[in-house]
Structure 1
């Protein structure tokens, strides 16, 4: 720009001629004179910014990424083409907006496939092109994937948006599959295994896509580390997105979630019926129990989700409405996403996204993925379910209890026989009481059954116990005959009966179990398992049958059982040698099914809870837990062993003493003798 000096309005024109106009000396004299004459005739200097200058200097109002995406993003290669709508994937709104929070530098998303998160990250890059320009790098697992994404996703995203299309140069050379040159910034495409593509490029925005599928270059650092070093020069202005489906616990995405992320967020939905907020869990997805074919469940859309507060069953439409009403909450503080970011300002944040939240994945598809494992028992199906549906890494479940070690606890007693008295005290029974634990299975009287164990407990604090009988009965009358109309004998012929039974009442047959327990009060209690509570056992009065206005005759007491407490106790007892005090004995010929189910559960240190892997049966394990709870309810550990009767020599028969007259015959006593 020239340094031309001008007069202001109202100055002397003659003085204007004396002003140094500052015209460059290299101009032709005639041109210089013509320009000078025009300036002298109009001393007012009028100027304006060009369109480009106005675009650069304009101060635009702040706008969240989610709002920008709905205004400017257009989807081409999508199942729902057209403008972007946040209502399709509501959970992506929080991820996009949090990506450009002033405190956040790294965004980690552990996701399932078909969740829309990849497109949400493309929205973030589109926002950066328009409002936070700087070099971008996408890193993919291999070269073919990188080229395909450049051609099929990134370039269509830019060209399809009227806003972003203005940044294209128009040159075909600037639209290659490995580098896209815009008017003001480049976009690089790289892949793992190629150190040259990952190096020597300063990057402000870095996208690490499908991180767990990366290949490591020989004699080089991991691709993730090489790519992250490209953002060093941009310091606090850099942004990194790490998105992937998990593979194993040692995989990069799960390590980033558990070690790198300073805050991890879960998406909480809100029931469209009762408006109560909750975290969705796979265990609350239901389908008809008599349907085991995964294709039938998927084709007929038989699965539904049960609200944990009101019990209403959601179809896919209800699920989608619940997700639209939801929000992200931090796991430890339970604060909403933006509230937590403003209060704690974490630099690295993580998001966990299972498949049952996705609009593109039906509840029946989730159930079918699980049933594929149940019907085939193929570990690969279970691995697929964990990684691609639950969005959790595959864990090779280590069984701390082996079946052979369980069966090693068998003694020589036949099934149904109670241990007899000790040789040193033949008159004292070894058993204090018989108890039973019942696990209720099935949805009705036709398809249901009852798994049970009957266990004998010894006297005192040691609580040595013996399995008397275990098995399955089809009906409640058969269960009553087994528990109270059957007599169990020991080797000495002493008879024993079941003193107390506890029965699982939660599930589809709660009303039936309540009625059975109400008819046998004092001998059996319905139970509800609790992961933790203030006391091992707690009683809760029940006046009505669940889900009805029908009163329970005389009322009923539900026994709430701290399952973690008794499972810890059971696990410890199984480790006691048969010869040691407090041993846990089995009868001769205990079925292998019993031993298999006793090894199903394992203790998860991170969750501080006992976990049963999906597809494994643990019914006898649950029965033995209830048997321990029954012995605890009776207080058997406080019962003292009776003292044996002492045999003393019989005393000789005593002769009758002569009768002693209390009132003697004395003269004068009432006028005579007595």
Structure 2
């Protein structure tokens, strides 16, 4: 009878533990007790300590606050956004079990998140490990994108996949890098709205939205932050104790242009004007800094944080060095700096460039290859009756010089036109010292009616750095990197470079707005009457180069930016994008000296074979 009673009491205790409310602790307290950092995901594996990044404590407390429905984190890089999300997942797995959905920008990123971050946390945290059945056990329902545990489950979804977003009701939603989400998940609508609708059945629902911002007016995370408490982390001045956020406009620094290194950096107090370094401003960090709200909100707390507030692995000197490098690289890199380092949205300027401005900027080259050029690339546009070719010279900081625009006319069904193309791409161009430059990388359009012919022609010429490309542009604001991997899924097994043309156009237009001669600028030649093969950079060329503009559109009330063609022909712009991709693929060292005068500058690098759909910037 005693044994029976013990079993009954044990069963009753187990039942009560399932229905009893969880102990009222915060996400940060749970993490300090139970989270273990895995060796795959941390340079310092071991028990989690919130004190190492104390700015995370208040946002984690907000996530577990029963009065808060949504938490918005408009945060820069280097601040532990992923670990904060993992702590939230662990809390709602091991402490307050619930149905969870984690949304990544696409399914590939979702799988990587599950394999590289989530699974190691479940494996190495003692409280969580017994709760989540190992993926390889025979009776497990668990997969990479779906896992169960007592009292809940977790779905890892891709914002680009309507099927992965289709799920049973969800109590806890975590959206990561939501500014990279597509405008619509297939035909279903805005991914954020779709998943928010699945939380309606829960009175204690929780939504956590995380991202670095992107373009002003089209940034999801900025819109959500503006409809929140708008909290910023404030630091007391070491002199007057007045609280203020750390901002870039209050950063004062010295920079050595020769060594390209920050030698001093201080932050100016906006109240008393005192200058102090990073150590002084961050002294007694956990005790003295506070989150200050910009307005009241009944259900949503929003937190904005720049990398200037980082406590580990990033310094103000790092920020200054990044800023100076971005400034040399032009508006596109400055946008990335302010988005990812300062957590600021970027207001687009120069969205449209007038062709007359560029036409009037042309200058006389003394030689076919001007001083400053280190490498030549070429781009080939395939038309039904011709090839259009643009050869560009590249120098430090991706400064560029147009070298020659050339057309090869003929019937692309006949071999001789392909031979003429081959002959042109084998030519050399000479600089003032008599060096002969060969084309180091050529990208060739494989669209249109001659796709197979392009693949067949490029395949044996890969050793010369000649590759076919396939442009990709969703047209809905979805971010696709300029170099978006490779594929060889064609009958000729030719390597095909996948290009995100929207990002390429943004980089081209950014360079067009830079004053000639400055780092990252574009320069164009005037026709040379003494040359029997004159340069063909005429008014029609510049009309084509500026034939598109960036506009903001809306889908289901969500703003996004898209490139819109304003003229019938845009071959010159396409070729500029291919050339930009070509030089980035090479990832060249512009600081290397040129060979001796009179020599040949060539030797294209053979590409290493990589798997399909890998980033190609360093491997090709």
Q: Normalising by the residue count of structure 1, what TM-score does the alignment of the two structures yield?
A: 0.47
Does the CA contact (< 8 Å) of 1:294 and 1:369 recur in 2? no
Q: Which residue of 2 is the match for residue 292 of structure 1? A: 257
Whether 2:315 is the aligned partner of 1:350: answer: no
Q: Which residue of 2 is the match for residue 110 of structure 1? A: 74
Whether 2:114 is the aligned partner of 1:142: answer: no
Q: How far apart are the structure 2 equivalents of 1:182 and 1:197?
A: 19
| C-alpha displacement of 1:320 | 3.7
Whether 2:348 is the aligned partner of 1:381: answer: no
Q: Which residue of 1 is the match for residue 175 of structure 2? A: 208
Q: How far apart are the structure 2 equivalents of 1:345 and 1:62?
A: 23
| C-alpha displacement of 1:45 | 10
Whether 2:226 is the aligned partner of 1:251: answer: no
| C-alpha displacement of 1:111 | 1.0
SS at match of 2:230: strand
| CA distance 1:294–1:140, change in 2 (3 Å) | farther
Q: Which residue of 1 is the match for residue 572 of structure 2? A: none
1:80 is aligned, of 40, 44, 50, to 44
| CA distance 1:316–1:146, change in 2 (3 Å) | same
Matched ranges for 1:222-371 at <5 A: 222-234=190-202, 236-249=203-216, 250-258=218-226, 261-271=227-237, 275-288=241-254, 291-292=256-257, 295-297=260-262, 302-308=264-270, 313-321=275-283, 323-324=285-286, 325-332=288-295, 346-359=298-311, 360-371=313-324
| CA distance 1:94–1:143, change in 2 (3 Å) | same
Whether 2:4 is the aligned partner of 1:49: answer: no
| CA distance 1:218–1:183, change in 2 (3 Å) | closer
Q: How far apart are the structure 1 equivalents of 2:252 and 2:176?
A: 33
| CA distance 1:310–1:199, change in 2 (3 Å) | same
Does the CA contact (< 8 Å) of 2:74 and 2:343 recur in 1? yes
| CA distance 1:46–1:395, change in 2 (3 Å) | closer
| CA distance 1:52–1:284, change in 2 (3 Å) | same
Does the CA contact (< 8 Å) of 2:212 and 2:339 recur in 1? yes
| CA distance 1:186–1:44, change in 2 (3 Å) | closer
Q: CA RMSD in A?
A: 3.1
Whether 2:118 is the aligned partner of 1:154: answer: yes
| CA distance 1:257–1:292, change in 2 (3 Å) | same
2:187 is aligned, of 189, 204, 219, to 219
Q: How far apart are the structure 2 equivalents of 1:304 and 1:44?
A: 70
| CA distance 1:181–1:295, change in 2 (3 Å) | farther
| CA distance 1:176–1:358, change in 2 (3 Å) | same
User: How many residues are aligned here?
Assistant: 343
| CA distance 1:220–1:273, change in 2 (3 Å) | same
**Deviation string for 1:59-79 (max 9, x for gaps)?**
654212211111111111113
Structure 2 unmatched runs, 5+: 355-620
| CA distance 1:321–1:192, change in 2 (3 Å) | same
| C-alpha displacement of 1:373 | 3.9
**Deviation string for 1:524-545 (max 9, x for gaps)?**
xxxxxxxxxxxxxxxxxxxxxx
Does the CA contact (< 8 Å) of 1:146 and 1:191 recur in 2? yes
| C-alpha displacement of 1:170 | 4.5
| C-alpha displacement of 1:203 | 0.7
| C-alpha displacement of 1:305 | 2.6
SS at match of 2:189: coil
Structure 1 unmatched runs, 5+: 1-37, 333-343, 403-674
Q: Which residue of 2 is the match for residue 168 of structure 1? A: 132
| C-alpha displacement of 1:145 | 0.7
| C-alpha displacement of 1:221 | 0.3
Does the CA contact (< 8 Å) of 2:79 and 2:310 recur in 1? yes
| CA distance 1:61–1:185, change in 2 (3 Å) | closer
| C-alpha displacement of 1:251 | 1.9
Q: How far apart are the structure 1 equivalents of 2:102 and 2:259?
A: 38
Q: Which residue of 1 is the match for residue 61 of structure 2? A: 97
Matched ranges for 1:548-563 at <5 A: none
SS at match of 1:390: coil
Matched ranges for 1:115-130 at <5 A: 115-130=79-94
Q: How far apart are the structure 2 equivalents of 1:57 and 1:219?
A: 40
Q: How far apart are the structure 1 equivalents of 2:185 and 2:228?
A: 29
| C-alpha displacement of 1:174 | 4.1
Does the CA contact (< 8 Å) of 1:112 and 1:387 recur in 2? yes
Q: How far apart are the structure 2 equivalents of 1:363 and 1:171?
A: 43
**Deviation string for 1:625-652 (max 9, x for gaps)?**
xxxxxxxxxxxxxxxxxxxxxxxxxxxx
Does the CA contact (< 8 Å) of 2:71 and 2:302 recur in 1? yes
Look at both structures and tell me which one has the larger radius of gyration over its CA atoms. 1
Q: How far apart are the structure 2 equivalents of 1:143 and 1:358?
A: 30
Q: Normalising by the residue count of structure 2, what TM-score does the alignment of the two structures yield?
A: 0.51
| CA distance 1:44–1:394, change in 2 (3 Å) | closer
1:392 is aligned, of 328, 344, 347, to 344
SS at match of 1:130: helix
Q: How far apart are the structure 1 equivalents of 2:22 and 2:149?
A: 21
SS at match of 2:72: strand
Q: How far apart are the structure 2 equivalents of 1:262 and 1:369?
A: 30
Does the CA contact (< 8 Å) of 1:270 and 1:322 recur in 2? no
| CA distance 1:182–1:46, change in 2 (3 Å) | closer
1 or 2 for the larger relative contact order (CA 8 Å, sep ≥6)?
A: 2
Does the CA contact (< 8 Å) of 1:293 and 1:371 recur in 2? no
Query: 42-51 or 61-70: which moved more?
Result: 42-51
1:69 is aligned, of 19, 31, 50, to 31
SS at match of 1:256: helix
| CA distance 1:246–1:293, change in 2 (3 Å) | farther
| C-alpha displacement of 1:390 | 1.6
Does the CA contact (< 8 Å) of 1:169 and 1:183 recur in 2? no
| C-alpha displacement of 1:46 | 9.4
Q: How far apart are the structure 2 equivalents of 1:228 and 1:175?
A: 24
| C-alpha displacement of 1:175 | 4.0
Does the CA contact (< 8 Å) of 1:294 and 1:371 recur in 2? no
